[in-house]
């Protein structure tokens, strides 16, 4: 969706009235170029949505026609696909004097009765693309220094509360919330993993993030089939977790994998391979194929996935109607004995989403 389409959707969504006193303000984040679809998810939940783009087609300032607690409950229960992160706005200041505004932010934080002795608090600071001056890290350091005398325990992770600060060229926004109410406890939902020496590809990060997002433990599985495995990013990850992995792809796997004792490499197209019934308890697929072909290929191999087994599959969003495409793909899988547990555009997804399914 281009910038004009996003702007038009914003204008259309402002129609309708909102009862006085029932509005709440949030900063909402999606993957690059998918903010319009996150906005559509909000529109389907709340009807009237007033929004403006804060940064780089990823971050929206959104006014919703319900109170903050009701908004958070609705959003978290709906498990949105494209909406990656939300943060409440309980403090807002306009002006060019960032130092003065940050001093007011510090006072706002200190005056909050939730931020007390022994409470673990994470401070997350972000900036829009057009905001000049100090970096987000420098602004965070300044705020931390200002809050040094606070009795709260300031932590990087495992917090009881999150203080979110967002800075643009003209405004500064802040809010305090529980980590679970932000959809992600990472700043902006941007989950960062450290690339390891010898790592085959960044595709591994998708499985690491899926494990966190979907509450999985890949080491608990015994045997996996990786469809379209080359060059081997997902296969490598599953082997590291101790699984026996059958990697299927006519293309070459990375040479470093070929001597792995738990690897079976089938250098064929997946539709040319025969597997036994219930041979695997995990099926993964991250192919850059059309969704229709991918669905057919996975469906043809489902006999090899045991009942109760898990499927983790990415859907490439190859045209301009991703909502309809996702609905069709999910319907096809559910007609093939796969029950969809979650559909999510992870931070490490690009033009795709990830499905977590269980065979029944």
Reading the block at residue 335, the tokens are: 């007609």
Closest CA to 170 of 109, 271, 95: 95
C-alpha–C-alpha distance, residues 356 and 138, integer Å: 38
| Inter-CA distances, 281 with 196, 263, 308, Å | 27, 15, 8
Instruction: Report the C-alpha gap between 154 and 268 in whole angstroms.
Output: 53
Cα-flanking dihedrals φ and ψ of residue 2, to 5°?
Answer: -85, 175
Spatial CA neighbour of 98 closest among 165, 176, 167: 167
Residues in Cβ contact with 25 at an 8 Å cutoff, skipping those fewer than 6 apart? 61, 62, 63, 64, 88, 89, 92
C-alpha distances in Å from residue 113, one per residue of 68, 152, 173, 176, 297? 18, 11, 19, 11, 56
Catalytic residue among 50, 316, 344, 359: 316
Whether 244 sits among the annotated catalytic residues: the reply is no
Q: Pick from 210, 74, 57: which is nearest to 128 by CA?
A: 57
Nearest to 122 by CA among 65, 165, 78, 169: 165
Is 263 in a helix, a strand, or coil?
A: strand
Q: Which residues are catalytic?
A: 316
């Amino acid at each position: 969706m281009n910038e004009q389409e996003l702007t038009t959707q914003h204008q259309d969504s402002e129609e309708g009235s909102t009862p006085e006193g029932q509005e709440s303000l949030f900063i909402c984040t999606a993957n690059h170029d998918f903010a319009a679809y996150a906005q559509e998810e909000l529109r389907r939940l709340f009807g009237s949505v007033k929004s403006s783009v804060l940064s780089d087609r990823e971050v929206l300032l959104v006014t919703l026609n319900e109170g903050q607690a009701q908004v958070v409950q609705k959003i978290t229960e709906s498990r949105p696909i494209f909406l990656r992160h939300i943060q409440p706005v309980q403090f807002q200041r306009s002006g060019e004097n960032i130092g003065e505004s940050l001093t007011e932010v510090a006072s706002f934080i200190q005056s909050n009765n939730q931020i007390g002795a022994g409470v673990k608090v994470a401070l997350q600071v972000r900036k829009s693309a057009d905001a000049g001056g100090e970096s987000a890290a420098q602004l965070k350091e300044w705020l931390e220094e200002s809050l040094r005398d606070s009795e709260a325990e300031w932590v990087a992770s495992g917090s009881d509360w999150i203080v979110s600060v967002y800075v643009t060229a003209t405004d500064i926004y802040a809010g305090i919330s529980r980590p679970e109410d932000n959809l992600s406890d990472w700043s902006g939902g941007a989950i960062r993993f450290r690339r390891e020496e010898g790592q085959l590809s960044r595709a591994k990060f998708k499985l690491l993030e899926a494990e966190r997002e979907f509450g999985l433990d890949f080491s608990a599985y015994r045997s996996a089939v990786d469809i379209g495995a080359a060059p081997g990013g997902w296969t490598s990850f599953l082997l590291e977790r101790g699984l026996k992995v059958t990697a299927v792809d006519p293309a070459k796997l990375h040479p470093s994998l070929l001597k792995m004792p738990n690897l079976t490499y089938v250098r064929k197209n997946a539709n040319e391979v025969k597997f036994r019934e219930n041979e695997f308890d995990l099926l993964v697929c991250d192919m850059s194929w059309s969704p229709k072909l991918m669905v057919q290929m996975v469906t043809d191999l489902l006999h090899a996935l045991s009942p109760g087994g898990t499927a983790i599959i990415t859907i490439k969003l190859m045209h301009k109607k991703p909502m309809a495409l996702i609905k069709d793909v999910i319907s096809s899988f559910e007609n093939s004995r796969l029950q969809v547990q979650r559909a999510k555009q992870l931070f490490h997804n690009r033009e795709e989403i990830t499905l977590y399914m269980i065979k029944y």
